[in-house]
Structure 1
Amino acid sequence: MARPRNFDERRAVEAAMRAFWADGYEATSTQELCEATGLGRSSIYNTFRSKRDLFEKALSRYMEIKTSSVIEALEDRDRPVRERLRTVLERAVEPPADEPPGCLVVNTMVELAPHDAELTGRIERDQRRRLAALKAAIEEGQRAGEIAPDKDATALAHFVISTVGGMRVAARGGAGTATLASIADTAMNAI
């Protein structure tokens, strides 16, 4: 008879997510995952089969949290569209203090996606969700007269995604709040 688990798998995935987010897949050792999750090696491997399996769950959780948050902000019909877009950019300017700098998706795109078709597919599906939400909000802003109707909504949505990704990379490289805020202001002026 299998022994029941006495830990919260979701909490373990979120702890591993933060470890991978901070250090990347390759640089995060199994020992670091044990320390982050509070689990022993055998519990990690019995539950998640491999470091890769745990990483995939952590990446999926990250995308679920972050993409849902972006979509929720963009679909807030109680606020003008430009404010919603500003909110998306501001989250890259001042992320919660307890988060590692950067973005797990961007880090994964750089570190692993060029050599991993499965991860590339996951990231592309996530990006399509964000792109669709951004495009819908931008088109709503165009109908409301907040955004020029002659601008390409798809191009602007890609621009916002690229800007946020670039801001996350800049933050990971040490860019301060003032620099990130100026990037957000410049992006808003372009929209």
Structure 2
Amino acid sequence: MGRPKQFDPDHAVEQAMEVFWRKGYAGTTPQDLVDALGIGKGSLYNTFGSKHGLYERALRRYRDSQAAALVGMIEEPGSVKERLRNVLTYLVEADLADPHRRGCMAVNAAAELAGTDEVATELVRRMLDRTEGAFSALIDEGRRSGEIAPGRDAAALGSLLLTTVVGLRLMARVAEGPDRLTRTIDALLDSL
């Protein structure tokens, strides 16, 4: 009979997500993970199979927490433009307040691994598709309520919003302050 695990795998995934988010996949060593999780390498590999297996679980955890929170904000009551402003402003403020300036783990994964890691690419693609779909649905709601012109293409505007979010999250990693990012949000909302 084997010994019971001396750690909580869910907590370990949460801790690993923080390490991967800060250092990236390639920049994270197995020793970094062992140190952050407080477990031995044997436990790491026995539980998660590999560094990559743990990274996949960390990306899924990010998707479940961060992307779900974003979609939840999009679905809150209020005017469409007010909700969009709230979401975009929240992302900018959160990114600028982060002392590590990690940005978005999904965007970071796309920049680092797209085209070389099929699993990570597909996970990120699904996260972005979900976010874009939520934006398109919100635009469609705005068209029905008259807040957005009925002739506007909800799918195209959903893509524009997603691309803007990706750019904002990337720019926030190097921004000296919120001015440029706030101007972008204002211009985008004025264009709707």
CA deviation profile, 1:5-25 (whole Å, cap 9, x unmatched): 122211211111111111110
Percentage of identical aligned residues: 42
Residue identity in the other structure for 1:73: M
Q: CA RMSD in A?
A: 1.7
Distance 2:119 2:150 in 1: 37
SS of match in other structure, 1:115: coil
Distance 2:121 2:33 in 1: 23
Distance 1:121 1:16 in 2: 20
CA deviation profile, 1:101-125 (whole Å, cap 9, x unmatched): 2111111111111112222222222
Report the equivalent of 1:146. 147
Distance 1:108 1:166 in 2: 14
Distance 2:51 2:130 in 1: 27
Q: How far 1:190 sits from its partner (Å)?
A: 2.0
Report the equivalent of 2:79. 80
Report the equivalent of 2:122. 121
- Counterpart contact for 2:172–2:181, Cα < 8 Å: yes
Report the equivalent of 2:13. 13
- Counterpart contact for 1:24–1:107, Cα < 8 Å: yes
Unaligned runs of 5+ in 1: none
Report the equivalent of 1:105. 106
Residue identity in the other structure for 2:138: A
- Counterpart contact for 1:93–1:184, Cα < 8 Å: no
CA deviation profile, 1:63-115 (whole Å, cap 9, x unmatched): 11111111111112x21111211122112211174574211111111111111
Distance 1:41 1:56 in 2: 18
Distance 1:73 1:82 in 2: 12
Task: Please identify, of 152-161 and 39-48, the stretch whose mean Cα deviation from structure 2 is larger.
Answer: 39-48
In the TM superposition, 1:150-189 aligns within 5 A as 150-189=151-190
SS of match in other structure, 1:173: coil
- Counterpart contact for 2:136–2:157, Cα < 8 Å: yes
Report the equivalent of 2:58. 58
Residue identity in the other structure for 1:86: R
Question: How high is the TM-score relative to the length of structure 1?
Answer: 0.91
- Counterpart contact for 2:103–2:170, Cα < 8 Å: yes
Report the equivalent of 1:92. 91
- Counterpart contact for 2:91–2:169, Cα < 8 Å: yes
SS of match in other structure, 1:87: helix
Distance 2:99 2:154 in 1: 31
Residue identity in the other structure for 1:118: V
- Counterpart contact for 1:92–1:180, Cα < 8 Å: no
Residues matched between the structures, number: 190
Report the equivalent of 1:38. 38
Q: How far 1:175 sits from its partner (Å)?
A: 4.2
- Counterpart contact for 2:34–2:44, Cα < 8 Å: yes
Q: How far 1:51 sits from its partner (Å)?
A: 0.3
